[in-house]
């Protein structure tokens, strides 16, 4: 679940379009959460993007809460120290 301030940003008129906001959130999730090796920076990103009671679906299973999300990110970072996550081009809506 997104933090309330992120949800409200998406519904304000005159702000960034929904597809641009989704793109930004996906990139931040990949780069700042799953791709961040520094635990302090990653923790700040998780707190900024996810609620305390978030539920995240990842290939190993369902994660409940920020601590479980951080735990799996730490495992990813420790197993892939020279690995860089990148997002492919993103397009929202009909082709």
Residues 12-44: tens digit of each pLDDT: 555 678 888 888 888 899 889 988 888 999 999
The answer as to whether 47 is a domain residue is yes
Domain count, the chain: 1
The answer as to whether 95 is a domain residue is no
The answer as to whether 84 is a domain residue is no
pLDDT band at 78 (very low <50, low <70, confident <90, very high): confident
The answer as to whether 41 is a domain residue is yes
Cβ atoms within 10 Å of 50's Cβ, excluding its own: 22
The answer as to whether 57 is a domain residue is yes
Q: What are phi and psi of 93, to 5 degrees?
A: 95, -175
The answer as to whether 3 is a domain residue is no
């Amino acid at each position: 679940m997104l933090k309330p301030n992120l949800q409200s940003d998406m519904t304000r008129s005159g702000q960034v379009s929904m597809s641009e906001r989704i793109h930004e959130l996906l990139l931040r999730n990949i780069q700042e959460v799953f791709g961040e090796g520094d635990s302090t920076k990653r923790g700040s990103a998780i707190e900024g993007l996810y609620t305390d009671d978030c539920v995240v679906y990842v290939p190993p299973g369902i994660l409940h809460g920020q601590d479980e999300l951080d735990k799996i990110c730490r495992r990813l970072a420790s197993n892939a120290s020279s690995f860089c996550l990148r997002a492919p081009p993103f397009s929202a809506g009909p082709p």
